[in-house]
């Protein structure tokens, strides 16, 4: 009862971006692929009304967040990432950068799933507070408070290490 060609085209275009978001949400590439598949099944079911509304990707991202949070609720443990990408610009201390990235992901792995999702949606997907709230199905106030707690935790971990200061980058503020 649906236009599968359009759905497949959408899924092929969205899968990579969704998988990266899923990886940052869960810390494991294999599980990220599973989560994206589950989310895309939800998108398939809802596809007719989504194509009308023209908000396919936002729905897919919301479905993905829901899948990941559902899974996190079922698990008592979370995984520590991460595999390193050693390709760095010239003149940069590769070891230091890899260490900073690993530290960030390890601290994120210890965050409550919704706090982690706030960080990923706000600073990887670059969603506004309002859009993050819609993706998580909560209030904007909750997004702000959860994000602030997560960032406090991340920042304190960096301050306590030899890695230096942690900032947001870009135009947004704490």
Partner 1 sequence: MVNEVRTLLHEAASTPPADDIDLAAVLAGGRRQVRRRRARAAGGLAVAVVGAVALGTLVGQGTDGRDTPAASVVPRPEGPVVRLSDAGQAREGTDYELLSSSTNEDLDAANGQYYDGVTDDGKILFRDGPHGPENSVRYALVDPATGAEDWLPPLPDGRQVFATDLGADRLVLLTFRNDRGTGLRAWVFDRTARTWSSMEWAGLPPKADLFQAEVAPNGRLYVGVPATVGGPPPGGWPTGPDGEADDAAATGDTYDLWSVSLTDRADARDEHLRVGAVAFTDDAMVWSAVSGGVNDRIHVRDLATGAEHDFDPRSGKRCNLLGFGALGDRIVLSQYCGTYDDGRDDRVQVLTTDGDLVTTIQGDGIDGWVTGGLVRVTSYERGRSGTFVYEPDSGRFTRVSDANSSYGLGGPVPDGYLLWDTPVGTASSPQEPIPGATQWLARWRP
Residue 65 in the binding site for partner 1 (CB under 8 A): no
Residue 49 in the binding site for partner 1 (CB under 8 A): yes
Provide the minimum distance between the beta carbon of 172 and partner 1 in the complex, in angstroms, as a whole number: 9
Provide the minimum distance between the beta carbon of 160 and partner 1 in the complex, in angstroms, as a whole number: 13
Provide the minimum distance between the beta carbon of 55 and partner 1 in the complex, in angstroms, as a whole number: 9
Taking CB under 8 A as the criterion, the residue among 26, 63, 68, 104 binding partner 1 is 104
Q: What is the DSSP letter of 54?
A: T
Distances from the Cα of 33 to the Cα of 9, 40, 63, 127, angstroms: 18, 10, 14, 22
Q: What is the DSSP letter of 28?
A: -
CA dihedral of 54, 39, 140, 142, whole degrees rounded to 10: 180
Provide the minimum distance between the beta carbon of 158 and partner 1 in the complex, in angstroms, as a whole number: 6
DSSP string for 81-144: ---------TTS-HHHHHHHHHHHHHHHHTS-HHHHHHHHHHHTS---HHHHHHHHTS-HHHHH
Residue 44 in the binding site for partner 1 (CB under 8 A): yes
Residue 1 in the binding site for partner 1 (CB under 8 A): yes
Task: Give CA–CA dist 110/74, Å, rounded.
Answer: 16
Taking CB under 8 A as the criterion, the residue among 79, 80, 110, 137 binding partner 1 is 137
Residue numbers at the binding site for partner 1 (CB under 8 A) = 1-8, 11-12, 15-16, 19-21, 23-24, 29-30, 33-34, 36-37, 40-41, 44-49, 51-53, 71-76, 81-83, 85, 87, 96-97, 100-101, 104-105, 119-120, 123-124, 126, 137, 151, 154, 158, 163-170
């Amino acid at each position: 009862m649906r236009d599968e060609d359009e759905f497949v085209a959408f899924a092929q275009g969205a899968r990579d971006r969704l998988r990266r978001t899923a990886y940052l949400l869960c810390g494991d590439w294999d599980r990220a692929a599973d989560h994206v598949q589950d989310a895309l099944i939800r998108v398939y079911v809802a596809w007719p009304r989504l194509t009308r509304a023209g908000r396919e990707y936002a729905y897919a991202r919301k479905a993905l967040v829901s899948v990941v949070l559902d899974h996190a609720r079922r698990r008592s443990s979370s995984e520590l990432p991460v595999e390193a990408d050693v390709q760095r610009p010239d003149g940069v201390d590769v070891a230091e950068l890899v260490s900073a990235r690993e530290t960030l992901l390890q601290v994120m792995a210890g965050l409550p799933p919704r706090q982690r999702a706030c960080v990923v949606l706000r600073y990887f997907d670059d969603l506004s507070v309002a859009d993050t709230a819609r993706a998580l199905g909560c209030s904007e106030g909750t997004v702000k408070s959860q994000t602030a707690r997560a960032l406090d935790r991340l920042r304190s971990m960096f301050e306590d290490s030899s890695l230096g200061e942690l900032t947001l980058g870009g135009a947004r503020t704490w």
